[in-house]
Homo-oligomer: A and B are copies of this chain.
C-alpha cells in the first residue's frame, strides 16, 4: 500500500541548516515573525492534517473520479470535508497578504506545506494551488476594487480561482486563441468563447469560482500581443460581497483522463459572461505570467511530491517483502528469504528516489527563498539577483522535477513487482497522476526552450553568468578540503560541462536558431543535474561539519546519499553535453515525410 509520513526532519534541514531561514526571513519586512519555533510548529501541524485527513482521500478520489451531471461537477466523496479542513485551519492563507486576510508568512515556508498536500492528494491540492495562482495574478494586476471584492475569499478558500487559457486549437500557441471580450457600458466586459482543459473549472468545493480568462478585445492586434485577461466569476458578486446571480459560465463536459481523476478537467463555455479586466488591455500575458511563474514551481513540486510518497511506499514494501537471498549470503536466517532491500538493484531504484527527492526539496527551498527575496527584500540589488535566479531556475524546476518525478514513481512501482501494477496497491495511481505534471502548465519541451531560448540570452546572459558565478565561488570556497573532495571534484566537472554547453549554445544559436531548440532538452537536464549536484555538495559541507557527535545517523545518511548521487546519477551530465553538442543537423535532417 502507499504510505506517507511528512518528511519533517528533511524539511527542517533545508529550512534551518541549508537556508538558515530564520536569519534569511528576518531580512525581509515582517519576516521576523517566522521564528524557528513557529516554522517547526507549522510543519508539524501541517503534517498532522495531511497524513490523517488528506491522505485517506487519495485512493477514493482515483476510484470514484469526478462526476458530471446535468451541467454540474461533483468531486469524489470526502473531498469537500478534506477541503474544508484545509480552509478551516487557515492553510490557504499562510503566505498571503495580511491586508486581505493572509498571514503574511514567507512563501519559503508555505511551499513545504504545499509539498505535503500534494503528496497526500495531488488532485485535491490542485484546487487550492490554482486558487493561489489566481490570488497572485489579481494581487499583482487587479484594480483595488477587484482586490477588495475577490482576494479575501480566495485567501480564506471559500472561493477558488482557476486559469482559463487553452482552446482546442490553441495550447502552447496562445497567439491563436479566439475567445472574445467586448466592453460594456458599465466598465465591465462580456466574454464569449470556449476553453478546454480547465482544471477545477467547475466543482462542488467552494461557493464561487473565479475564472481568469484570456480573451481578445475588439481592437486587439493579432497574436500574443492582443490578449487580455478577464476575471469572470461563476456567480456575480454584489457590492457588499454577497453572491449575486449566476453568470453565464457553464461547464460543457469533463475529460476522462489517465490520472488526477479527483481533479475536474472541464470544457468551459463563456456565453456573453460578465468579466472584469485584470491589468492593462492587450497585456494579458504579463498578468498570466505572474500566475504561471508561481504555478510552474508548484507543478514542478508535484513531481517531487508524488516521488516522495512513491519512494516512501517502496521503502516500506522493500523492508517487508521477502524474496531471494542476498548475493553476499543469507541476511535473515530465521526467514525463508531476505527482505528485497538487501538486493543492490532494489537499492539502486530506492536511492535514485531518495537522492533526487532530497536534492529537489533543497533546490525548491532555495528557489522559494529567492522568490521571497525578489518580492520583499528592501535592497534593489538583492531583489534583482534573486529574481534572476528564480527566472533561470523556474523552467528547470518545472521540467526536470516532473520528469524525474515520473521516473521515480515508475522505479518505485517496479520495486513492488506485479503488485505495483494492481490498482489496490496505490502505486500505479502515483504513476498516472504524476504523468500530467510533465504536460500541463506548458509541456516540458517548452520550458526547456524557455530556458535556452529566453532565459540564457536575457540581459546579455546575465542570469546564467550569475548562476555560474555562484557555483564557481562555492567550488573555490571548498577547494583544498580533502574531506569534501569526493563531492567537489565531480561537481566541478559537471559545472565545467554546463559552462561549456552554455557557451556552445550561445555560439551555435547565433549561427542557426534551430540549434537552440535542438540543444534545449539536454541543456535543461544538464543544468538540473548540476543544480542537484550543487545542493548535494552544500548538504555534504554541512553534514561533514555536524557528523562528529551526531547519534541520529542523519548526517551520515546525507553523506552516503550525496556519494550515491555523485557516483551514479551525476555522470549523466557527460552524455548530455556530448549529445547537445551533436548539433541540430542530427534532428533536422530528416524530411517530414520520412518519419
A residues lining the B interface (CB < 8 Å): 166, 170-173, 175-176, 196-197, 255-259, 315, 318-319, 322-324, 326-328, 336-337, 339, 341-351, 354, 406, 410, 413-414, 417-418, 420-424, 428, 431-432, 435-436, 438-440, 443-445, 448-449, 453, 512-514, 516-518, 520-521, 553, 556-557, 560-561, 563-564, 567-569, 571-575, 578-579, 582-584, 586-595
Contact = CB atoms under 8 A, between A and B. Distances in A.
Contact of A410 (B327, B406, B521, B587): B406
A421 B439 contact: yes
14 contacts: A166-B418, A257-B421, A257-B428, A258-B421, A344-B588, A345-B520, A345-B521, A348-B587, A351-B590, A420-B439, A421-B435, A557-B590, A564-B590, A568-B586
Nearest to A318: B595
Given A414-B439, A414-B445, A574-B578, 18 more contacts: A176-B323, A176-B336, A197-B418, A327-B453, A327-B513, A343-B517, A346-B445, A350-B595, A351-B587, A406-B410, A414-B438, A556-B594, A560-B594, A563-B586, A567-B582, A571-B575, A574-B575, A575-B575
A568 B577 CA distance: 10
Contacts of A422: 255-258
A587 B341 contact: no
A588 to B, nearest CB: 6
Best-buried of A421, A428, A569 by chain B (most CB within 10 Å): A421
Contacts of A258: 421-423, 428, 431-432
Nearest to A340: B172
Q: Classify the interface of chain A: helix, strand, loop or mixed.
A: helix
Contact of A578 (B345, B350, B445, B571): B571
A344 B196 CA distance: 27
A347 B445 contact: no
Given A421-B436, A568-B582, A590 B561 contact: yes
B344 A517 contact: yes
Contact of A423 (B257, B520, B571): B257
Contacts of A424: 256
A170 B418 CA distance: 11
B513 A587 contact: no
Contacts of A417: 171-172, 439, 443
A551 to B, nearest CB: 13
Nearest to A315: B595
Nearest to A312: B595
Query: Which 10 residue pairs across A and B have the least CB separation, nearest first?
Result: A567-B582, A344-B517, A258-B428, A344-B518, A345-B445, A327-B513, A571-B578, A173-B323, A571-B575, A557-B594
Contacts of A175: 337
Contact of A435 (B171, B343, B431): B431
